[in-house]
Amino acid sequence: MKQLILFFSFLCSSILSFSQPQIIKSCDDMTDKCHYLASEKMVLIDRENKQGFNIGPLFDFKNNKLGMDMVICKIANIGVCHENDKLILMFSDGSKLSFVSWNDFNCDGEAWFYVKDVDINKMGSFAIVKAYIQNGRTYESMSMEVPQEQQNYFMSIISDMRQGVIVDLNK
């Protein structure tokens, strides 16, 4: 049932037009904790609308500076449970970055990938033209061309992060 709901959310996301992603800041006035999220994720779904995944950044605010320390994927119908998943991103210059998920075994379709500064620099400098995800348990995989309107997703979000362009929901 969870995968059906997840897949429906993927489908709805793909139907909506992809606009410029923004970094959103939301603070809880009771705990004084703030969270930074992307307004949208890169969404990749096969032609039959049977499987897909999304990719989005996870931000952290340390030493008075916003940074990106992880990339998170939500995966639908590429295996059931996940651990040691592999994500490969191909860039417009032909180079690739490869990541292996670090999070524990889960059946929620989640894969979390640490990113280094050198990875962030690459993601912020070149368009992503193709993405590949492989389930680390079943080795089922999916490779997708990134639609033109989403290829600059990380370039845009990393540029905003570096410039401190944040939409504050509490104002």
- Find the range with the poorest average confidence among 10-24, 29-43, 72-86: 10-24
pLDDT at 2 exceeding the cut of 70:
no
- Mean pLDDT on 71-90: 95
pLDDT at 169 exceeding the cut of 80:
no
DSSP assignment string, 91-155? ETTS-EEEEE--SPPBSSSEEEEE--HHHHHHHHHS-EEEEEEE-TTT--EEEEEPPGGGTTHHH
- Mean pLDDT on 2-12: 46
Which pLDDT does position 112 carry in this prediction?
96
pLDDT at 9 exceeding the cut of 90:
no
| Domain range 2-168, its CATH number among 2.60.40, 2.40.50, 1.10.150, 2.30.30 | 2.60.40
- Domain ranges, ordered by start, for the chain: 2-168
Give me the chain's average pLDDT, please.
88
- Mean pLDDT on 27-50: 91
pLDDT at 13 exceeding the cut of 80:
no
Q: What percent of the chain lies above the pLDDT cut of 90?
A: 70
Which pLDDT does position 10 carry in this prediction?
47
For the sheet with 65-76, list strands across it.
42-45, 52-62, 65-76, 110-114
